[in-house]
Amino acid sequence: TIQASKELNITQKIHLKLDTGMHRVGFSEEELSQILPELCDAVGSGSIELDGMYTHLSKADETNKEYTIQQLECFQRGINQLKTQNLSVRFLHSMNSAGSIDFDQLSKKLPFLNEFNLYRIGISLYGFYPSN
């Protein structure tokens, strides 16, 4: 994306995905550290507009929220990596249906969740809890 934006002389809006435990797509914390210099250069040159950052909660529908809390803490570390480089994003999101339903419970343990401003509800839109 960065190379194509430079070659075409355009600005690409992107949402950066941090893999916090789903293990399908996205950058790991270590990979994020490695790409930050190039990302900073791309943002500075106008090739990239970092519009959002997100992750996917893989077990948010389970009763025990420890893994979800670990994922969200990992996501917070990723957000902090951006902040240390003076990179900001307009949208922060991680809440799928189960995370959205359990948001109050999670945000009491992790107050930084109140900074999140997008929710990706899926099956709950139809009135179902994800694990049912």
- Please give the pLDDT value at position 110: 95
Mean pLDDT confidence for 32-46: 96
87 pLDDT above the threshold of 90: yes
- Please give the pLDDT value at position 117: 94
Mean pLDDT confidence for 89-117: 94
| 42: exposed, middle or buried (Cβ count in 10 Å: 0-12, 13-18, 19+) | buried
**DSSP helix/strand/coil, 9:** coil
62 pLDDT above the threshold of 90: yes
- Please give the pLDDT value at position 115: 93
Q: Please tell me the pTM assigned to this model.
A: 0.92
Domains of the chain are 2-126 (3.20.20.10)
